[in-house]
Amino acid sequence: MDMQSGTVEEALDKAAAVGVTAVVQVGCDLERSRWAAEVAGRHENVHATVALHPNEAPRIRREEGPGALDAALDEIAALAALPQVRGVGETGLDYFRTGADGIEAQTYSFRRHLRIAKEVGKALVIHDRDAHQDVLRVLREEGAPGTVVFHCFSGDAAMAEECAAAGYYMSFAGNVTFKSAQPLRDALAVAPLDLLLVETDAPFLTPAPYRGRPNAPYLIPVTLRAMAAVKGVDEDELATAVAANTARAFGCPPPR
């Protein structure tokens, strides 16, 4: 869901109308993490994750100083301990928008988030953009928590196989429907059914043929239908598997 567009109730009603009866609201900075936790506290079918997006870490250090980054991470740790918060993320590495001067801050923040996830015993939700091997390396060096979710999976088939071998969940978004996304579909094709998740990345990555409008949970069935076609399975079979995977990954009961 997008905290700037409409009401939570409207978004949940539209999602429920197409069979999407529970959502995970992802935090990407302090404001949105606080909001995600607050919304999840008010709605039993909303679960939160909290974190500083990789690009937030160098920004905070640059604009507010190193102490501010540690203070922000301490607040993320406090939010992560709340019962309605089911994961720590999205965190990781993003080399697309942050140059070499931001890598150290990103890596420091990623390692802190990883440790927080292990301390609270919750899923680690990873943002990985143009940084596949470094993300996997940090996971190996730190020791991954029990549950790892690659948000908006962007790797190729070889990376999907590596993630599968490690037992990492791979979450696919609407860009799997884009004509230019054959490598992503190749990755989906080899990803095991029991490690698949689906997401919006709202308001971005709206699936075809609805590109141009803001993405939202009610469009999840469009993405899931495309995923089922790639996997060669029935839509209901994939939907059942994804619901069970989501409940298992985030430690929450399947939606009623």
Residues annotated in a binding site:
90, 127, 151, 201
Helix then strand then coil, in percent of the chain rounded to 5, is 55, 15, 35
Binding residue positions for a divalent metal cation: 90, 127, 151, 201
Dist. CA 150–CA 201, nearest whole Å: 12
Measured distance CA(49)–CA(207) in Å, rounded: 23
Please give the backbone phi and psi of residue 111, each rounded to the nearest 5 degrees, phi first: -65, -40
C-beta separation of 118 from 82 below 8 A: no
Per the listing, tokens 């991470």 go with: 73
Nearest Cα residue to 190 out of 147, 158, 238: 158
192 exposed, middle or buried (CB, 10 Å; 0-12, 13-18, 19+)? middle
